[in-house]
Structure 1
Amino acid sequence: MLIDHRTYTVKPGTMQAHLDIYEQYGLATQTKHLGQPLAYMFTESGEMNTIVHIWVYENAADREKRRAAMQADPDWHVYLKKNREAGYLVSQVTKLMTPAKFAKMSR
């Protein structure tokens, strides 16, 4: 199993607008190709203005195949354009992680 843990930081005051753009233009296309995320969360305390989402793949080849299909989808590019035009995103950190053998995850 391969976990894709992503942390995005948005400009202060833009969280809901950023999430609205994703929900309207990105969610359906992303879940069509990647499946449902294990988690999609935003901060209530701590490092504010951050969104974390976690995607689960069988392995690196599965991730590569699904993400390539998403990148080839014109609807995904509509979302990327809307997101870019809004200018809310400040940074992104992506961590590919493997669960420890004693901490099995089910999906």
Structure 2
Amino acid sequence: MLVEMRTYSFGPGGAADYLKAYNGRPRQLQSEILGRLLGLYQSEVGELNQLVFLWGFDSHDERDRRRRALMADAEFAEFRRGTRHLVLRQENRLLSAA
């Protein structure tokens, strides 16, 4: 299995604002298109104001196909445009079993 870890950094209060906008239809839509949300975490110690998403995929090809479908979705694009100002930094990692 391939795990994609996406870490989003926000200014103070930004993570809460992002979650308010995300929970509901955007989260449902993203989960339907991407598949397995393994976890959504918020940092409490260390670097704060972050959200970490872990998505599971069977292969790189599946990930690429699902990500393309998500980026092509007009409804999700609208959510991204409405929350883009909240995101200060984004880091993506692809993790495989050791």
**TM-score relative to the length of structure 1:** 0.85
Partner in structure 1 of residue 14 of structure 2: 14
Structure 2 gap ranges (5+): none
Query: How large is the Cα RMSD of the aligned pairs?
Result: 1.2
Please show how residues 27-106 of structure 1 align to structure 2 within 5 Å: 27-84=27-84, 87-100=85-98
| Runs of 4 or more consecutive aligned structure 1 residues displaced over 3 Å after TM superposition | none
Deviation of 1:13 (Å): 2.1
Q: Structure 1: where are the runs of 5+ without partners?
A: 101-107
Sequence identity percentage: 30
Indicate the structure (1 or 2) with the bigger Cα radius of gyration. Answer: 1
**Which TM-score applies when normalising by structure 2?**
0.92
Residues in 2 aligned to 1:14 and 1:81: alpha-carbon distance in whole angstroms: 15
Deviations 1:51-70 (A, max 9, x none): 11100000100001111111
Give the Cα separation in 2 of the matches to 1:7 and 1:96. Answer: 12
Aligned residues: 98
Deviations 1:53-88 (A, max 9, x none): 10000010000111111111111111111112xx11
